[in-house]
Amino acid sequence: MKTRHLIDLDDLSLDELDRILDLAKVIMEHPPYYLDSCHGRLMATLFYEPSTRTQMSFQSAILKLGGQIIGFDNPSNSSVSKGESLKDTVRVVSNYADLVVIRHPREGTAKAASLFSRSPVINAGDGGHFHPTQTLTDLFTLLNTKGRLDHLTIGLCGDLKNGRTVHSLVKTLIRYPGNRFVLISTPQLSLPPYMKALLSKAGCDYIESASLQEAIGEVDVLYMTRIQQERFASAEEYQKQKGAFVLNMEILKKARYGLKILHPLPRVDEIDYAVDDDPRAVYFEQTEYGMFARMALILHMLDGSKKQLDPRPESNAGRCCENPRCITRTESYLPRLFKKTADGLCCEYCDAKQSGSLRTGGTGTDSSRVDI
C-alpha cells in the first residue's frame, strides 16, 4: 500500500474531510478520551520557515494525544546548514518519525519531500503555494461559527497572489455547493490565473473588487490576509502594496450582522486592534479550532505501519520549472514533473503555469502527466 501524504486537501475525499471535521468536534467536546491515542507515536516537525500557530498547534495536538515530537524550527541548527539536501533530511527523519510535518519557503517542497519519505508527509505551508492544515482550521472554524460550509459568500482580502492559505481555502470551498467568492485585492496581488481557472472550471461565481469598503456588505465571511513582505522581490515592491487594506470599525459598520471575520494570522496592520472585541471577529477562536482539527488529522494520517519508499516517477529531464520559487530550482536531483490542467501545462510540484507546449501522451501510470 502506498504512503498517504497531505500536500493539499485535494488529497482527501470530501467524505474523508467530513469525517476528520466530525472527529475534530468529538475531540473538542471530549478531550480526555483521546489522551493516549498516540501513545508511542513520534511526529517530526521540519520548519525551514518561521511559524507560531502551525508549529505549536501541531506540537500541542500530538502531545494532547499522548505522542511525542522531534524536529527543528531553525534549519541552521540542523545539518541543513552543512548543505544536506531536502531529500536526505526527509529520508532520514522518516526513518525515525511516524509523521513528517514540513514547512518551507519554496513552492512544491511538500510534494518533493513526499517522494523520499517512508512516513506520511503533511504540508505545513510551501512558499506561496498551499497550506492545507490552515484550511482544515478554517473549515472547522466556519462549521463552528457559521454552521455550514456551503452556500456562503466568502470575501477574501489582501495578498491573494502569494497567500497560500487563500489558495488552499478556495480550492476546498469550491468542492461544496453554492459558494461564491468576492476577491478583494489590488491588481498586483490578485488571485493567480491557475486559481481563477479552477474557479471557472468548477462553475463558481466570483467577482473582483479593489475596495473592502464596497465589498464588505455582500459577504457572509471575510477572510483577511496579511500582505506578505517575505514574498516580494524587493522592499520597494512591498512598500507599494503595504497597508492597501485595513479593516477598522468604520468599515465594519457596513458589514452584515452575521458576518464572521477570519484571519490565518499573523496580523500586521490589516485589522485594527479595535475590531478584536467585535463578536464578528473569530480569528483568535480560529487558532484553537486549528489545534482540534490537527488532532483529528494526525489520527487520520497515522495508519500504523512503516512503509518502504514508494517508487518515484521517472524524471522528465531537459526542462526546469519556470517558477523561480519552485523547489526544483534549488534541489536539482528532483524528477521534473509536469501535468496538463485547466490552465494549460503546469509544474506538478508548485502548479506554476509553463509557457512550453505539450509533446505527447502521459508518463508512467498517471495519465494527466505529460512529456514535454
Applying CB under 6 A, among 25, 37, 51, 60 the residue interacting with ligand CP is 51
Q: How far is the CB of 182 from ligand CP (least distance, A)?
A: 22
Phi, psi for residue 169 in degrees, rounded to 5: -65, -45
Q: Which is nearer to ligand CP, 67 or 264 (CB)?
A: 264
For the bound state, the minimum distance from the C-beta of residue 49 to ligand CP, rounded and expressed in Å, comes to 8
Please, what is the minimum distance in Å from the beta carbon of residue 201 to ligand CP?
27
Using CB under 6 A, which of the segments 51-59, 175-183, 221-229, 354-362 binds ligand CP?
51-59
Min dist CB 337 to ligand CP, Å, is 26
Contact between 321 and 350 under an 8 Å Cβ cutoff? The reply is yes
CB 354, min distance to ligand CP, A: 28
Q: Please, which residue, 156 or 370, has the CB nearer to ligand CP?
A: 156
Q: Which of 3/55 has CB closer to ligand CP?
A: 55
- DSSP 8-class letter at 6: B
CA atoms of 5 and 38, how far apart (whole Å): 18
| Contacts of ligand CP in 278-337 (CB under 6 A) | none
- Closest of 112, 129, 167, 106 to residue 326, by C-alpha: 106
| Residue numbers 176-195 binding ligand CP by CB under 6 A | none
**Residue closest to 372 by CA, chosen among 355, 353, 359:** 359
Decide if 208 contacts 233 (C-beta within 8 A).
no
Distance in angstroms (rounded) separating the CA atoms of residues 305 and 99: 11
* Residue 90: closest CA among 112, 108, 74, 73: 112
Return d(Cα 27, Cα 35) in angstroms, integer. Answer: 10
Of these, 3, 17, 41, 54, which contacts ligand CP (CB under 6 A)? Answer: 54
Closer to ligand CP by Cβ: residue 19 or 238: 238
Site stretch for ligand CP (CB under 6 A), options 48-56, 151-159, 252-260, 313-321: 48-56
Please tell me whether residue 338 adopts helix, strand or coil conformation. strand
The cell for 48 is 525551514
Residue from 100, 265, 296, 326 binding ligand CP (CB under 6 A): 265
Least separation, in Å, of the C-beta of 245 and ligand CP?
Answer: 18
> What count of residues does the chain have?
372
Rounded alpha-carbon distances, angstroms, from residue 104 to 47, 79, 113, 271 = 6, 16, 10, 26
- For residue 228, the minimal CB distance to ligand CP (Å) is 10
Residue 52 interacts with ligand CP (CB under 6 A)? yes
**Judged by CB, which is closer to ligand CP: 78, or 287?**
287
Rounded-to-integer distance, Cα 244 and Cα 226, Å:
10
Distance CA 166, CA 365 (A): 31
Q: Which of residues 89-148 bind ligand CP (CB under 6 A)?
A: 125, 134
Kindly tell me which of 52 and 330 has the beta carbon lying closer to ligand CP. Answer: 52
User: Which positions lie near ligand CP, rule CB under 6 A?
Assistant: 51-54, 125, 134, 264-266
